[in-house]
Amino acid sequence: MSDKDPYAELLRLCAQGDEKAFASLYQQTTGKLFAVSLRIMQTRQSAEEVLQEGYIKIWEKAGTFDSGKARAMTWMTTIIRNRALDVLRSYKSRPVEVEAQFEGMDFAAAESGPDKLTGISLETRQVLECLNELKEKQRQSVLMAYYYGQTHEEISRQLEAPLGTVKAWVRRGVERLRKCLE
Amino acid sequence: MSRVKRYQNPELYERLAAEYVLGTLQGAARKRFERLINERPYIRYAVDIWEGRLNTLSEVLPEEKPGAHVWNNIRQQIAHQSPREKPLWERLGFWQLATGLLSVLLVTAILLPRQTGLMPTPNFVAVLESSEDKPMIVTTGMRDLGMLDVRLLEMPKAKNQQWVLWAIPKEGMEPIQVGTLRQDSMQTRLHLTEAKWKQIHGVEMFAVSFEPNGGKAVQQQPTGPMMYKGKCLDFI
């Protein structure tokens, strides 16, 4: 179990204008946060733009981070994901590569085994375990929306299921997830 | 059920909060919900809870490496910003005071001569501020002259980049390129075509980004974040 928050202190230093702390934070977190951006944006260039804007916002808003409310990585992920989703929704159509690069979501499998879950926080383990309790299609729809920023329509096309059914999968999926996590 | 009452239903706003964080809440519904997040603390709280739940999932992603230029750009951009911890006098609202004074000066400079007919009528004005709410640029549009007057209140430190002015029709919409600012003067006068005036008519805000130099033409869309932004105040 990994309960301590390794990046909270770096964020606190960033809030004081410590550029070295920011460099260290970037170095340690960029791999995960770029992965978040890349899955949603699908092209390296746009994912890098989102990452760049996101880190500048992290630097600017570091003073508003409250370690009592969220883990640092969760807070930073929120900034990057929100920026990625905003940019994505401003596009008239999505880059064509999206389906070709859709490589599944095995990384989010709770049954990955204890060795693979080393260094994963307790919170994340709980979410993975609860996701595992969803019905297969509910879980798949929720993860496609989360990791790839896919809309109901896109999920409907990809899973070859009616739109109404996909909306119900997502709705019931988050409902079950909430009950499990409460 | 009225819309106000609907959003007081915990089951509904909990679900909307989850779908907002997930990203499946879209279009007008997403915008409406974003307004509610700012207006109603219990909805903000529900969103915080879902962000805390779902955004932990980044931890399990296999890492990806961005290009080295990303960090170089970030480093360059934060170098233009002053340290986070501000002196007491500044935290006490120096810039609010400065902005207030600036507004008075603007009203005096723009509206007064306008009434006495000494100067062309400005159609709009926008004070562009840095991310620290520091006023950096004043943009005044004078359509009668076909001219946009851009005055720097402080010279940006980004010497090796082009300073490009954009008009943003609405938050979240694609910016419209207006022109490039001079670096050898605190004032730039941009002469706009009639088509460009129509394009920027009624925009919500103006913004400036720093774009790569080296003789390259400026891209149709900004390559980096907006460094200065300001709402546009229409006079006519």
Quick one: pLDDT at residue B223? 84
Q: Say if the Cβ atoms of A48 and B172 lie within 8 Å.
A: no
Q: B67: nearest CA in chain A?
A: A48
**Is A3's pLDDT higher than 70?**
no
Domain boundaries for CATH 2.60.40 within chain B:
88-234
Give DSSP secondary structure letters for B26-52: -HHHHHHHHHHHHH-HHHHHHHHHHHH
Q: Hey, is the C-beta of B74 within 8 angstroms of any chain A C-beta?
A: yes
Q: A49: nearest CA in chain B?
A: B224
Quick one: pLDDT at residue B178? 92
Contacts of B84 in chain A (CB under 8 A): 14-17, 62-63
Q: How far apart are CA A7 and CA A27, in angstroms?
A: 11
Q: Binning pLDDT at 50, 70 and 90, where does residue A48 land?
A: very high
DSSP character for B136? E
Contacts of A15 in chain B (CB under 8 A): 84-85
B48 vs A69, A128, A177: nearest CB: A69
- pLDDT tens per residue across span B32-75: 899 888 888 788 888 999 999 999 898 888 899 999 999 999 99
* CB atoms near residue A24 (< 10 Å): 15
Residue B159: exposed, middle, or buried by beta-carbon count in 10 A (0-12, 13-18, 19+)?
exposed
Q: How far apart are CA B147 and CA B140, in angstroms?
A: 8
User: What domains are there in chain A, each with its CATH number?
Assistant: 1-94 (1.10.1740.10), 102-182 (1.10.10.10)
A15 vs B55, B82, B84: nearest CB: B84
B18 vs A38, A150, A178: nearest CB: A178
Task: Name the most confidently modeled range: A120-129, A134-143, B163-172, B205-214.
Answer: A134-143
Q: Say if the Cβ atoms of B23 and A19 lie within 8 Å.
A: no
The torsion angles phi and psi of B232, rounded to 5 degrees, stand at -95, 130
Q: At what angle do helices A136-148 and A122-132 cross, to 10 degrees?
A: 140
**Is B4's pLDDT higher than 80?**
no
Q: Is-contact B153 B137, C-beta < 8 A? A: yes
Q: Under CATH, which architecture does the B88-234 domain have? A: Sandwich (2.60)
